[in-house]
Structure 1
Amino acid sequence: MISRRHALATAATLLCASAAWAEPTLGLAERRAIAAYRESRYPAQEKAIQEAAGFPVPVEVAWDQITLPGDAKYYADEGYFEKTIFEPIAAGLKEVGKDKMGREALQAKLKSIRIRFDEKTAPASNYPNGLKFDGGVLDVNWRPFSNVADFKDRVAAVVQVLEKNL
């Protein structure tokens, strides 16, 4: 018969091991690739988002969440971040701000944009479920490099959430 102390120690070891397995850390290849992306390509994406909004809206990207282990070789692919996250946001903002009323509403109520990926809550394809607008923050929780062809659906989701909340 196993002692209670031994059973608790075994359970704790298994729990720690499974937690480490469930959330791998980024390796050097991923850190290098994301640093290169942030330096060479991201500034144009941020600028496009801000131009579409009509003002320099702060864009906060949770790089540690959208940078997925093992995907370093794909970060430079325009379908990884750009077509699935940044460009749909810019296109949605541009659509909302296509007239004076929309531009004024964006400037009055949009305080910042937060981009992240939480695997537990990000939708596979129901993109409005990955968006929230609360306290002036547009929170975008979409998986990078997923369903790249769904560009129009993502844009429509951004427009829908913003128009409802502005």
Structure 2
Amino acid sequence: MVTRRSIFGFVATLSATALLAPTRLSAQGTIGLAERRAIAAYRAEKYPAIEAGIQQAAGFPVPVDVEWDQLTLPGDAAYYARDDYFGKTIFEPLTAALKSITADAMGRDALRAKLQRIHVRFDEKTAPASNYPNGLSFQSGTLDINWRPYSNTADVQDRTQALTQLLEHNL
């Protein structure tokens, strides 16, 4: 039989456990202090220039929503600041694809007319290992990029091509 005392004891134990546990959980596991500090530093020091480059390549201020909790992988804090961690695997291909699309007035006009938002995330269950088109979608004006950071860092051209082809098909 469950008594009020046992329920209150359980709630108190649960509350104490929650206070001692790490504060965030990503889709890939527990995010500790090192990861939170490293991603905060990346977002403050490097990402503003990257986002400005994306906006410039697009030719207009397209919103870029990054699911940082999903991109923040446990144990990788020391690598976030490296250009190949997020840059070569996600942001460089995106910027290059946008530059390719906006190389002429027709591309600039088409992109501005149809692209409303860019969504960047990493879902370990659905992100492709190397078949990059499978990690992309374009629906209702949203370009969704679901790629694992810091994997196959030499595949910048393959990722760029996948993004360019998807955008060309949907614009």
Q: Which of the five TM-score ranges fits, normalised by the shorter chain?
A: 0.7 to 0.9
Counterpart of 1:36 in structure 2 is 41
Q: Distance in 1 between matches of 2:68 and 2:43?
A: 9
Determine whether 1:26 maps to 2:31.
Answer: yes
**Equivalent residue pairs, number:** 146
In structure 2, the CA distance between the partners of 1:49 and 1:32, relative to structure 1 (3 Å rule), is same
Query: In structure 2, what residue type is equivalent to 1:139?
Result: D
Query: In structure 2, what residue type is equivalent to 1:92?
Result: A
Query: In structure 2, what residue type is equivalent to 1:118?
Result: D
User: Which secondary structure does the structure 2 equivalent of 1:49 belong to?
Assistant: helix
User: Which secondary structure does the structure 2 equivalent of 1:149 belong to?
Assistant: coil
Q: Distance in 1 between matches of 2:127 and 2:28?
A: 16
Root-mean-square deviation (CA, aligned residues, Å) is 1.2
Specify which of 141, 144, 149 is matched with residue 144 of structure 1. 149
Determine whether 1:134 maps to 2:139.
Answer: yes
User: Which secondary structure does the structure 2 equivalent of 1:103 belong to?
Assistant: helix
Q: Deviations over 1:96-150 (max 9, x none)?
A: 1100000000000000000000011001111111000000000000000000000
Specify which of 156, 159, 171 is matched with residue 154 of structure 1. 159
TM-score by length of 1: 0.86
Instruction: Note the residue ranges of structure 2 that are not aligned, 5 or more in a row.
Output: 1-24
Specify which of 100, 120, 135 is matched with residue 115 of structure 1. 120
Query: In structure 2, what residue type is equivalent to 1:86?
Result: F
Counterpart of 2:11 in structure 1 is none
Query: In structure 1, what residue type is equivalent to 2:38?
Result: A
Query: In structure 1, what residue type is equivalent to 2:169?
Result: K
Instruction: Note the residue ranges of structure 1 that are not aligned, 5 or more in a row.
Output: 1-19
User: Which secondary structure does the structure 2 equivalent of 1:106 belong to?
Assistant: helix
TM-score by length of 2: 0.84
- Sequence identity (%): 67
Specify which of 93, 103, 108 is matched with residue 103 of structure 1. 108
Query: In structure 2, what residue type is equivalent to 1:63?
Result: W
Question: Within 5 Å, which residues of 2 pair with 1:72-83?
Answer: 72-83=77-88
Moved over 4 A (4+): none
